[in-house]
Every structure is written in C-alpha cells, then in structure tokens.
Amino acid sequence: MRVYVLNGPNLGRLGTRQVDVYGATSYADLVTSCESTGRELGLDVVVRQTDAEHELIGWLHAAADEQAAVVLNPAAWSHYSIAVRDACALLRAPLVEVHISNIHAREEFRHHSVVSAVATGVICGLGVDGYRLALHHLATRLSQGV
C-alpha cells in the first residue's frame, strides 16, 4: 500500500530552522524515520518536500489518481492555500494533516487550516512523532479497507 508523506515550504530546513519550535530532528532524519516506520507497517512510503506550491499540487493529483493515502504537512499553505485544499479534496484515500508545532498555541493567523476540513484527521503539536502516529493510523485504516 502506497502512502505519500508530503511536506510543504521550509520543512527541508528542519533541524536548523526555529529549533525551539520545530525541534532538532533534521529533514533527512525525518525521511529515514518515515521510511523505516513504513517498512515496519508494510507500507510503501514515499517522502517528498517542496517549496513550490504547484509541485505539491501535482503530487496530490498523482496520489488522487493512484488512490494513495497521504500524510500531509502543508506548512504555511495550511492557512491560506485554497489550491492545496482543493487538491486535497480530490483524494480518494485517507488524508492525515500533520503539523510539528501546535498551530493553535502560536500566532493567531496559524490557528486555522483550510486543509483540515477535507482531512480524515489532524495531528498537531506532537513534534515529528506526529508523522509516525499518522502512518500507524493509516496502516490500520488501510488494512481494514477503510
């Protein structure tokens, strides 16, 4: 079962960007963790990151065409990109939105995500562990045919 783990802008800077907010885990370590967790769960995990909105939208379209599940950290696009939200709405398999920080405890403009309304579930504030939890959730759902 294929699962895409898609990451939006600035997430490639994990480990060096606002460590007090996003933690010290590097993006490379996040990729390794997601792939390792996927193997343990019998999932074919593909991890990608982009700072280009059109590229993320293309990956979401491909996931929709493949009927693949998605773990998505849309980063800043969460708060204003109707284009990303609409691409998420095309998905035919579960979508788990993940945020490393607790967006509800940060600046007011981060409190709302336009993506959440079309997501199966949302995990925020649990650091990079949120990705592992999302993959475990998807493995359970997909094994149950949901």
Binding residues for substrate: 73, 79, 86, 100-101, 110
Residue 61 falls in the annotated catalytic set: no
The catalytic position among 4, 27, 99, 131 is 99
Q: Where are the beta strands (DSSP E) in 11-138?
A: 44-49, 69-73, 95-99, 121-124
Q: Say if residues 70 and 91 touch (Cβ distance below 8 Å).
A: yes
Q: Is 12 exposed, middle or buried (0-12, 13-18, 19+ CB in 10 A)?
A: middle
- Find the Cα–Cα–Cα–Cα dihedral 43, 48, 14, 100, rounded to 10°: -60
Query: Does the active-site annotation cover 112?
Result: no
Residues serving a catalytic function are 22, 99
